[in-house]
Structure 1
Amino acid sequence: MKNSSRFILNRAVFYLFTLWAAITINFLVPRMMKGDPVTAYMNKYRGQLSPEAEHAIRTLFGLDKDTSLWQQYLDYWGLLLRGDLGRSFSNGLTPVGDVIAVALPWSIGLVGLATVLSFLVGTVTGAVVGWRRGSRADVIVPITTFFSTVPYFWLGLIAIAVFSSTLGWFPASHAYDKGSSPEFSLDFIGQVIAHGALPLITILIASLGGWILGMRNMMLTVLDEDYVTVAQAKGMPNSRVLWRYAARNAVLPQLSSFALSIGFIVSGTIVMELVFSYPGVGKMLLDATAAKDYPLMQGLFLIITLAVLCANILADIAHAILDPRTRQSEA
């Protein structure tokens, strides 16, 4: 009990410090760049806005030149604690939170589902291939690894050319039909599934190789351990030895990689969303960078950071549950 409490305390302190550092860097980076977002915004309306308007905009965005950097930092924290991420220049000064909320479900739905499926399918397949080492199942590894070496955008373009342009099985772009608007109906859900199927399958194919190879290699290491040999010597069924002993320990290193993948779901697969013109957070981040929309960039980076931290916390919890030695070593 004491070790568990110390483990939780150590991890809590670490993640709180990491969160503070990430937010501080997120605050400082735009202010260290040449110029500032207000200047970039004012240049679009040169001659149309008065100096008073510029001062009002700087005050709105917490970039008033008469305010010290320390006070801006405190004001930034105050806004964050109230859930205010600022306003987006490239979206008519719409609150950043509202802008991100529009794109976030699309990235989570597409990339999230693809990431979870690729992890589950790849891990299970890798465990079986590792268990049956030396059999015909080994051919799965080079095939899936080959697809993992092909860049996402090439797979996306090939998929569009074959399954959309030639065969006409799937739409080539967007998240739903043009002229439609998001609504909770069977017709709209069908459109979302049809438009998301091709990018999801593409991400799945491109991601499987890494999960299969990683799990297979860990299985080969675990199968030489004494506890696996003892379990087999006791006459336990192969399925129980495979999943209860070998796979349970072999999957531990996979969890860290999966945690990072889960965290970056929020950022989406930028290139893939660009190829399929999918309205996710990845494409939004690219558009915000091109438009020099610093408040939106800050908001997106902050959301991505929080997602990665939360995913790592979940990975630590999973490690502690599956391997009690983790709690003891950390404590």
Structure 2
Amino acid sequence: MRYYARKLGFYVVALWAALTLNFFIPRMMPGNPVDALLAKFQQRGGTVDPSARRAFELMLGTNSDEPLWDQYYHYLGNLIRGDLGVSVSAFPSKVSDVIQESLTWTIVLVGIATLLSFLLGVGLGALVGWRRGTWLDNLIPVTTLLSAVPYFWLALIFVLLFSTTLGWFPLNRGYDVTLDTGWNYDFISSAIYHGTLPALTIVVSSVGGWLLGMRNMMVSTISEDYVLTARAKGLRNSRIMTRYAARNAVLPSVAGFAISLGFVVSGSIITEQVFSYPGIGSKLLDAVQNNDYALMQGIFLVITVAVLAANLVVDLLYGFIDPRTRVEN
């Protein structure tokens, strides 16, 4: 119990530290969200008097007359109540509504792409590691090269090849804007069609890392005594590969996959920007460009909680699977 309590205590402190940085870092940036919002009104020909400016400051939580520490306490209090504020870049929408809408797109796109790249990379890695020294080893340089290619460059190449030249996939957007959103066949099929190329970009660029890691673990695992014993018993090679070698070699990859799931909510900013995909990465970029403190803080909060939760689950699972990690020093 002391092991689990210590882990939980560590992550509670880490969450508090992340929330504190989440509050102070945006306020160290040049610019002001109130000025950005007022500039939008002025571009439309409107005028804002001092009382209206004061109201916007109170609404956005950037009261210049209030000490920074008081703003910090109010920020923590609002978080406890689930109030993330109002977004400047999507005014007058609430931050929670903006995040909820964009997070769904990101989780579906990046989550499915991450799962596919993991399954494909681990499966190929197990096969390549089991048959090391054969022609299958030629897959490693190819996938490693693709992993080294920058996301934006690979995305632009895919757009040029599959969208502009061949016309197989649309250039941008997450769905056909002429359709009504909802759980209907036309909208879902359109979303899948528009998300295929961005997902392919993520899978192609990330599968190499999973393949190489699994292949190396398989090479070291098949030399273990329990694998040699299974071979001496005359078991089938397919059973030895899956039940003995791959089952143990995949453990580090599973830990890495659990952590990568935490980063799913952060989206793929470059990929979403290239394809104009309505994910949370695009919203984060809009928030930075508009000095939208509330939206930046809300997105960073979601990312922080997801990553810490994924790491906590991995730590607790390791403590359960391997009792040696719970031994007190």
Settle same-fold status: TM greater than 0.5: yes
Deviating runs (4+, > 6 A) in structure 1? none
- Deviates most, 242-251 or 258-267: 242-251
- Residues 72 and 269 of structure 1, relative CA distance in 2, 3 Å threshold: same
| Alpha-carbon offset, residue 30 of structure 1 | 2.2
Quote the Cα distance in structure 2 between the aligned partners of 1:174 and 1:120: 27
The alignment status of 1:12 with 2:11, answered yes or no, reads no
Quote the Cα distance in structure 1 between the aligned partners of 2:163 and 2:28: 45
The 5 A counterparts of 1:109-258 are 109-258=108-257
| Alpha-carbon offset, residue 224 of structure 1 | 2.7
Quote the Cα distance in structure 2 between the aligned partners of 1:171 and 1:235: 53
Are the equivalent residues in 2 in contact too, given 1:30–1:36 (CA < 8 A)?
Answer: no
Are the equivalent residues in 2 in contact too, given 1:79–1:85 (CA < 8 A)?
Answer: yes
Query: TM-score normalized by structure 1?
Result: 0.91
- Alignment partner of 1:26: what SS? helix
State the partner residue of 2:268. Answer: 269
Deviation string, structure 1 residues 26-73 (Cα, Å, up to 9, x no partner)? 011123334432244345556822222222222223332343333222
- Alignment partner of 1:266: what SS? helix
Would you say how many aligned residue pairs link Structure 1 and Structure 2? Answer: 326
| Alpha-carbon offset, residue 235 of structure 1 | 3.6
| Alpha-carbon offset, residue 321 of structure 1 | 4.5
Quote the Cα distance in structure 2 between the aligned partners of 1:324 and 1:241: 26
The residue type equivalent to 1:70 in the other structure is W
State the partner residue of 2:23. Answer: 27
Are the equivalent residues in 1 in contact too, given 2:125–2:215 (CA < 8 A)?
Answer: yes
The residue type equivalent to 2:34 in the other structure is V
- Deviates most, 244-253 or 21-30: 244-253
- Residues 323 and 124 of structure 1, relative CA distance in 2, 3 Å threshold: farther
- Deviates most, 31-40 or 159-168: 31-40
Are the equivalent residues in 1 in contact too, given 2:169–2:197 (CA < 8 A)?
Answer: yes
State the partner residue of 1:297. Answer: 296
| Alpha-carbon offset, residue 269 of structure 1 | 0.8
The residue type equivalent to 1:37 in the other structure is P
| Alpha-carbon offset, residue 8 of structure 1 | 1.6
Query: TM-score normalized by structure 2?
Result: 0.91
Deviation string, structure 1 residues 148-187 (Cα, Å, up to 9, x no partner)? 1222222222222222222222222111113223121111
Query: Which ranges of structure 1 fall in alignment gaps of 5 or more residues?
Result: none
Are the equivalent residues in 2 in contact too, given 1:130–1:219 (CA < 8 A)?
Answer: yes
Q: Indicate which of 34, 50, 75 corresponds to 1:38.
A: 34
Are the equivalent residues in 1 in contact too, given 2:172–2:194 (CA < 8 A)?
Answer: yes
| Alpha-carbon offset, residue 279 of structure 1 | 0.6
Deviation string, structure 1 residues 184-226 (Cα, Å, up to 9, x no partner)? 1111111111111111112111111110001111222222333
- Deviates most, 189-198 or 227-236: 227-236
| Alpha-carbon offset, residue 312 of structure 1 | 1.4
Quote the Cα distance in structure 2 between the aligned partners of 1:63 and 1:294: 9
Quote the Cα distance in structure 2 between the aligned partners of 1:329 and 1:136: 44
State the partner residue of 1:73. Answer: 72
The residue type equivalent to 1:179 in the other structure is T
Query: Which ranges of structure 2 fall in alignment gaps of 5 or more residues?
Result: none
Quote the Cα distance in structure 2 between the aligned partners of 1:253 and 1:329: 20
- Deviates most, 179-188 or 247-256: 247-256
The residue type equivalent to 1:126 in the other structure is G
Are the equivalent residues in 2 in contact too, given 1:175–1:279 (CA < 8 A)?
Answer: yes
- Alignment partner of 1:161: what SS? helix
State the partner residue of 2:50. Answer: 51
Taking only aligned residues, the RMSD between alpha carbons, in angstroms, comes to 2.1
Quote the Cα distance in structure 2 between the aligned partners of 1:292 and 1:220: 50
Are the equivalent residues in 2 in contact too, given 1:62–1:72 (CA < 8 A)?
Answer: yes
| Alpha-carbon offset, residue 330 of structure 1 | 6.6
Are the equivalent residues in 2 in contact too, given 1:129–1:137 (CA < 8 A)?
Answer: yes
- Residues 212 and 150 of structure 1, relative CA distance in 2, 3 Å threshold: same
- Alignment partner of 1:87: what SS? coil
Quote the Cα distance in structure 2 between the aligned partners of 1:242 and 1:323: 22
The alignment-based identity, stated in percent, is: 52
Deviation string, structure 1 residues 6-35 (Cα, Å, up to 9, x no partner)? 222121111111111101110111233344
Are the equivalent residues in 1 in contact too, given 2:121–2:207 (CA < 8 A)?
Answer: yes
Are the equivalent residues in 2 in contact too, given 1:214–1:254 (CA < 8 A)?
Answer: yes
Quote the Cα distance in structure 1 between the aligned partners of 2:26 and 2:105: 27
State the partner residue of 2:281. Answer: 282
